[in-house]
Amino acid sequence: MVDEHGWVQVTRPERDARDAVADPDDHQRVVRVAEAVRALAEGGQLDAAIRLGEDVLRQPVPEALAAELRCTIAGLLLAAGRAGEAVAVAGRVLAWRGVPAPLYRLAAANRIFGLFLCDEPRARELAESMVAGSDVVEPGREPARGPGSGWAAGAVDTVTAAAVVSVLSWQRGELAEGLRWGTRAVRAASRVTTPGWRGFPMLALSAELSDLHEFEQAEALVRVAENTTDPMGVTGHTAGPAIVRARLLAQTNRLDEAYRVAEAGARVATEHGAGLLVPLAHAVLASTTLRIGEVDEAAAHVERYRTALAAGGAVLPSPQYDWVELLVTAQREGPRRARELLTTRFTDLPTRRALFVEEPGAAAWLVRLAMSVGDPVLGESAAATADRLAEDNPGFATVAAGARQARALLRGASRLGAGPPPSGARGTATTGWDGLNDTERRIASLVGQGLTNRQVAARVFLSPHTVNYHLRQIFRKLEVRSRVELARFAHEH
């Protein structure tokens, strides 16, 4: 740390750790160094904790202590978004032939999660081999294992690998496979003895269930994950559960609450140096503020997560980074500028199955955009991707509905030869009922039934202030001047 005069200040945890290295008792040395590193991590000094551990390893240290410290450092590197370094550090532990089974498994968990962030093809190959019971190890060397199988013992490496297989399957649009491995990982996670690794499988499955609109089950998993948070874990203290909960709240139209939770998650991630989570937190904030109608604030959050992404650290993979920026661009600069993004920077977005899993309405939005700018190829590409996703995942209602909506719009466009551009907070503003977004239509319908702003707010889980903001937008788009006129308009539609 540096004080106001520019002098380097050594914190108490740093002093304690350096004193601990000189302790002649190896066991006490392990305990004291680990406590000092944890104290730094809990205080939000991930970089300092990492540096401290690395400084200790430059001195003569017993191999067992070195292996334990490397596992700790690897986990902190992951939380900081330094996945490549984490994989290398974990590899040092795995290369030690005498590594105890618990440390081997912890290092293997760090390695597979790090590869998930920085080398997806290798991560998938390794994770699938791990869950099948055939760990990839150095040639001619058998891995050190604890008693019992990985599943029965709740081995952290096997559980993490299963969660990685689940997420990667989900991103490719293999929904049944994603749920199968996600469910299996969560069932075994309760037996994982390393607290910081229990939350990842739960949050991953919660996000998947939320995409399917299984909100009660998703919420229950977030609650469990909140009780397993650990500053040494990859879910970044309380930031990981907060970000997943915020997205769930936004999906159920509790936008004000979603904003508060996401803001808290972003603050914790930033304060604790959890670079892995900062971009996703701001993507959730951007999406939420856009839906509330605060377009400039949404654009500011896009700029923040783009700055974080440009720093080069590892981040959780998601189509949301490109998707939310596209929505904000369409709202601020119009559909032609949005289409330009799709032909320059986001060329793969209309065919990314993960987008249509997370945002079932995205295909229809892209079709509307294509109709508004006269680009039938774009519309067909998005609709065809949604169709294939639905065909490959029979029985999943959300993706089926998204595909039907997009195809119906495309058929209507071919008959009529034109159509409306994307509407409201999901695209460019238009007039008339088609110019309202989903939240605005819901509010307009409730006001048309005679409800007051406070009563509407209770129904749609927003504050009366936010409802009043939406009403102003509705009046402008529908070109009405009173609630009576609005009621008449809503009744006709």
Provide the mean pLDDT of the chain.
84
The two tokens of residue 51 are 């540096």
The pLDDT of residue 314: 85
The pLDDT of residue 322: 97
* pLDDT at 427 exceeding the cut of 70: no
Q: For residue 19, what are the β-bridge partners? A: none
Residue pair 181/131 in contact by the 8 Å Cβ criterion = yes
CA gap 238, 258 in Å, rounded? 15
Rg of the chain's alpha carbons, rounded to an integer? 25
Lowest mean pLDDT among 397-411, 423-437, 438-452: 423-437
Cα end-to-end span (Å), the chain: 62
How many C-beta atoms surround the C-beta of residue 481 within 10 A? 9
The pLDDT of residue 44: 76
The pLDDT of residue 465: 75
How many C-beta atoms surround the C-beta of residue 433 within 10 A? 17
Pairwise pLDDT comparison (86 vs 8), residue with the higher score: 86
Only one residue has tokens 């017993």, namely 62
Residue pair 236/220 in contact by the 8 Å Cβ criterion = no
- Of the options 3.40.640.10, 1.10.3720.10, 1.10.10.10, 1.20.1090.10, the CATH number for the domain spanning 431-493: 1.10.10.10
The pLDDT of residue 7: 42
The pLDDT of residue 122: 96
Angle 479-482-487 from CA coordinates, rounded to 5°:
90
The pLDDT of residue 404: 93
Q: What's the CATH number for 237-307? A: 1.25.40
The pLDDT of residue 350: 96
188-230 tens-digit pLDDT: 988 887 778 889 999 999 999 999 999 999 999 999 998 876 6
Spell 2-21 as b/e; 16+ CB within 10 A means b: eeeeeeeeebebbebbbebb
**Per-domain residue ranges of the chain:** 237-307, 319-428, 431-493
DSSP code of residue 422: P
Determine the average pLDDT of the residues in 342-355: 96
The values of phi and psi at residue 252, to 5°, are -100, 20
Residue of 259, 180, 284, 269 whose CA lies nearest to 229: 269
Residue of 37, 53, 57 whose CA lies nearest to 45: 37
Q: For residue 65, what are the β-bridge partners? A: none
How many C-beta atoms surround the C-beta of residue 118 within 10 A? 17
51-83 tens-digit pLDDT: 888 888 887 778 888 898 899 999 999 999 999
- Residue 8: helix, strand or coil by DSSP? strand
When pLDDT is cut at 50, 70 and 90, the band that residue 14 belongs to is low
- The alpha carbon dihedral of 369, 372, 376, 380 has a sign of positive
The values of phi and psi at residue 2, to 5°, are -120, 130
- Residue 2: helix, strand or coil by DSSP? strand
CA gap 328, 337 in Å, rounded? 11
Determine the average pLDDT of the residues in 355-359: 96
Residue pair 199/228 in contact by the 8 Å Cβ criterion = yes
Residue of 250, 70, 179 whose CA lies nearest to 399: 179
Lowest mean pLDDT among 103-117, 309-323, 411-425: 411-425
CA gap 16, 19 in Å, rounded? 5
* pLDDT at 290 exceeding the cut of 60: yes
| 408: amino acid identity, one letter | A
**204 Cα distance to chain centroid:** 8
The two tokens of residue 307 are 């700055």
The pLDDT of residue 409: 87
243-271 tens-digit pLDDT: 999 999 999 888 899 999 999 999 999 98
The two tokens of residue 358 are 């997370």
298-326 tens-digit pLDDT: 999 999 999 999 988 888 899 999 999 99
Cβ neighbours of residue 64 under 8 Å, at least 6 residues apart? 26, 30, 100
Cβ neighbours of residue 220 under 8 Å, at least 6 residues apart? none
Lowest mean pLDDT among 134-148, 225-239, 358-372: 134-148
Lowest mean pLDDT among 145-159, 202-216, 240-254, 426-440: 145-159
User: Matching CATH topology for 237-307 and 431-493?
Assistant: no
The values of phi and psi at residue 8, to 5°, are -75, 125
* pLDDT at 136 exceeding the cut of 50: no
The values of phi and psi at residue 481, to 5°, are -120, -5
| 119: amino acid identity, one letter | D
* pLDDT at 158 exceeding the cut of 90: yes
CA gap 374, 45 in Å, rounded? 52
The pLDDT of residue 168: 97
* pLDDT at 237 exceeding the cut of 70: no
* pLDDT at 141 exceeding the cut of 50: no
DSSP code of residue 3: -
